[in-house]
Amino acid sequence: MSIELDDRTFRRLTDAVMPGERLAPSEAITIALIAQLAAGVDLDDDAAEGGLLGAVTRHLCAFAGIPRSSVPVLSPRPLPEDAEARSAWVNWLAGQLVTTRARELALVVAHLLIVADLELAPVETELHEELQRALLVDKRRARELIAEVTEAVTPGARSELQDTA
């Protein structure tokens, strides 16, 4: 499964999660930080994740009307390497997202980055579950969102995490 995130596909993704709504600049930045965490949690630099992360960040910034330079870049080492530190980051970031739709968008963006490399490490599954809880997205809604967004970015594909959501 290759995830291509062009303008049309990103619009399908946002229409599925937050139809007719816009992101506040602070929400776009927070979602981009969650995306960086999802891409780097396994501490493996993967080209598929890196390309998707760049596309996600670019689209989030355009969607919120902010320059890409407003999103801080997390280098691999400051990423939390233990469960306690990761949990603190997840809870802090999740707390920055006030609207339900922004929290849902953060979950699906993280999901896409987690599955982008086609290798689901245990730490990625843990992060996905932790994000789902911290972002207050119930399991039924998470499954619906993931199925819809997976179909939007890879027509006909089913999500690897759909059963764990």
By residue range, what is the domain housing residue 65? 7-153
In a domain, 82, yes or no: yes
In a domain, 34, yes or no: yes
CB 125 within 8 A of CB 164: yes
The CATH number of whichever domain residue 88 belongs to comes to 1.10.3680
In a domain, 42, yes or no: yes
In a domain, 1, yes or no: no
Task: Please give the Cα distance from 150 to 13 (Å, whole number).
Answer: 9
In a domain, 163, yes or no: no
85-123 confidence digits (pLDDT tens) = 889 889 999 999 999 999 999 999 999 998 887 777 788
**Model's pTM, two decimal places?**
0.86
Task: State the total domains in the chain.
Answer: 1
Task: Name which of 4-8, 45-49, 83-87 the model is least confident about.
Answer: 45-49
In a domain, 41, yes or no: yes
In a domain, 59, yes or no: yes
The HSE-up count of residue 119 (CA atoms within 13 Å, CB side) is 12
In a domain, 108, yes or no: yes
Query: Three-state secondary structure along the chain?
Result: CCCCCCHHHHHHHHHHHCCCCCCCHHHHHHHHHHHHHHHHCCCCCCHHHHHHHHHHHHHHHHHHCCCHHHCCCCCCCCCCCCHHHHHHHHHHHHHCCCCHHHHHHHHHHHHHHHHCCCCCCHHHHHHHHHHHHHCCCCHHHHHHHHHHHHHHHCCCCCCCCCCCC
114-141 confidence digits (pLDDT tens) = 888 777 778 888 999 999 999 999 999 9
